[in-house]
Amino acid sequence: MSDANYSLVNNNTGEKIDLPAIKGTLGPVGLDVGKVYDKQEVFTYDPGFTSTCSTKSAITYIDGDNGILLYRGYPVSELAEHCTFIEVAYLILNGELPNAEQLAKFDSSIRKHTMINEGLKSFFNGFHYDAHPMAMLTGIVGSMSAFYHDTTNNKDPRHREIFAHRMIAKIPTIAAAAYKKYYGQPFMYPQNHMDYSSNLLHMMFAVPAEPYKIDPVIAKALDVLFILHADHEQNASTSTVRMAGSTGTNPYAAVASGIAALWGPAHGGANEAVLHMLESIGTKDNVASFMAKVKDKNSGVRLMGFGHRVYKNFDPRATIIREQCHKVLKHLGKENDPQLELAMELERIALSDDYFKDRKLYPNVDFYSGIIYKAIGIPVNMFTPMFAVARTVGWVAHWAEMVSDPTMRIARPRQVYTGAPDRKVQPIASR
């Protein structure tokens, strides 16, 4: 943390303005440039927000150079080892790990909100038979804003809490329903005696015609994956939820906008893209020619599941997922899975190649998650919805943090205009 003073000097006039340094508990200070336009009539320019903080937040801390990820101060590896996803959800929402009583109350509230309105269920019928589950998730979560009118006062803490519990409880039900719609199978109602991850597995894989047994190893692996994906500070989808939420919009609509942002292959859609990449490479024999394409700037091909805007060392989540991946494949007797071997070969080559070393590109959270999902029978187009289920916790926590802040303002960036200067409309005959 730096105590230095900062200022911005206009080299033509010598005029200088101080930039107050906003200090957090960890990490670099943020320079407050909010008055720059007012005082010097210039904007700051940072497309992609490489050096820009959009907010203060007490939820998640990332140190990308050292591969550190903390939720409310706790390393994600410790949380993955000692806690359940529901405990971590409580932590992310409330700032502290729950005691036994708090956990029982929270868990019970989540279990009681798992069903979705029957009217909402019928919305699935309107989707085309081959609709992508992320399209359904975006649409259905957006539609929730038309159903739950009893808790729309964003300034009321109890309204915010009910919204958060509903959203976290219902998102697996909606994701599973999207899966069932895609396969033309009957929707399965939630079973509230089951834990969060088991319930999702049940809603996806059970059918009314026969009993379905939860595999505890798979349920545990899913729970760990959900912990690792639960929050990641101001990533693109969370920033989208905050941006939409800053207008005071309905919170379900704000979360729907986050789901839409997550879908892209540079963000949550990368787990699906990794599997498509592995399928297109096919066998280890094709790795060398694929890597040549990745390194050729004109090819437009990227090694999906590699690289991260913030992590320039390693992604701590990837290390845990890699371990889980081996555990799950061994448990299922699929440790010789050719796609896992292919992924490991790509990783081995990339980690020793100067192209990746120079650019500090390491495997990210999505490199291995898809292999686990595939091994447990989740189809490729459901990978990103699984990510959305977990990230819902982060979205609602960030939304709640923002709207409960009395200094909240609408997020409204500026631009450097590069279009035509002021001009006159010519009559159509002379254009």
| Catalytic residue ranges | 308, 366
Which residues, at least 6 apart from 411, have a Cβ–Cβ distance to it below 8 Å?
A: 54, 242, 243, 246
The amino acid at residue 266 is A
Nearest distance, CB of residue 367 and ligand CMC, angstroms = 7
Contact flag: residue 201 with ligand CMC (CB under 6 A) = no
Contact flag: residue 361 with ligand CMC (CB under 6 A) = yes
**Looking at beta carbons only, is 164 or 294 nearer to ligand CMC?**
294
Rounded to 5 degrees, φ, ψ at 397 are -65, -45
Q: State CA 106 to chain mean position distance.
A: 23
Contact flag: residue 35 with ligand CMC (CB under 6 A) = no
**Looking at beta carbons only, is 80 or 294 nearer to ligand CMC?**
294
Q: How far apart are CA 371 and CA 390, in angstroms?
A: 17
Contact flag: residue 312 with ligand CMC (CB under 6 A) = no
**Looking at beta carbons only, is 142 or 258 nearer to ligand CMC?**
258
Interface residue with ligand CMC among 62, 86, 221, 365 (CB under 6 A) is: 365
Contact flag: residue 385 with ligand CMC (CB under 6 A) = no
3 state SS of 61: strand
**Residue 50: burial class (beta carbons within 10 Å; 0-12, 13-18, 19+):** exposed
Nearest distance, CB of residue 53 and ligand CMC, angstroms = 16
Contact flag: residue 368 with ligand CMC (CB under 6 A) = no
Interface residue with ligand CMC among 308, 322, 374, 398 (CB under 6 A) is: 308
Q: How far apart are CA 4 and CA 258, in angstroms?
A: 36
Nearest distance, CB of residue 366 and ligand CMC, angstroms = 5
Interface residue with ligand CMC among 121, 159, 284, 309 (CB under 6 A) is: 309
Between the CA atoms of 9, 11, 13 and 15, what dihedral angle is there, to the nearest 10 degrees? Answer: 10
**177-185, 208-216, 361-369, 421-429 -> range binding ligand CMC (CB under 6 A):** 361-369
Helix axes 85-94, 100-112, angle to 10 degrees: 100
Nearest distance, CB of residue 195 and ligand CMC, angstroms = 25
Contact flag: residue 306 with ligand CMC (CB under 6 A) = yes
Query: Residues 64-85, buried b or exposed e (16+ Cβ, 10 A)?
Result: beebbbbbbeeebbebbeebbb
Interface residue with ligand CMC among 220, 366, 378, 392 (CB under 6 A) is: 366
Interface residue with ligand CMC among 98, 172, 190, 305 (CB under 6 A) is: 305
Which residues, at least 6 apart from 86, have a Cβ–Cβ distance to it below 8 Å?
A: 103, 106, 107, 110, 195, 196
Q: Mask: binding to ligand CMC, 227-266, rule CB under 6 A, as x and -? A: --------x------------------------------x
**Looking at beta carbons only, is 188 or 277 nearer to ligand CMC?**
277
CB-hemisphere CA count at 13 Å for 314? 10
**Looking at beta carbons only, is 23 or 302 nearer to ligand CMC?**
302
Q: Which residues between 38 and 57 bind ligand CMC (CB under 6 A)?
A: 48
Q: Six-digit token pair at 68? A: 């550190």
Contact flag: residue 364 with ligand CMC (CB under 6 A) = yes
Which residues, at least 6 apart from 355, have a Cβ–Cβ distance to it below 8 Å?
A: 294, 295, 361
Nearest distance, CB of residue 236 and ligand CMC, angstroms = 7
The amino acid at residue 295 is K
Rounded to 5 degrees, φ, ψ at 250 are -60, 130
Q: Which residues bind ligand CMC (CB under 6 A)?
A: 48, 235, 266-268, 270, 294, 302-309, 359, 361, 364-366
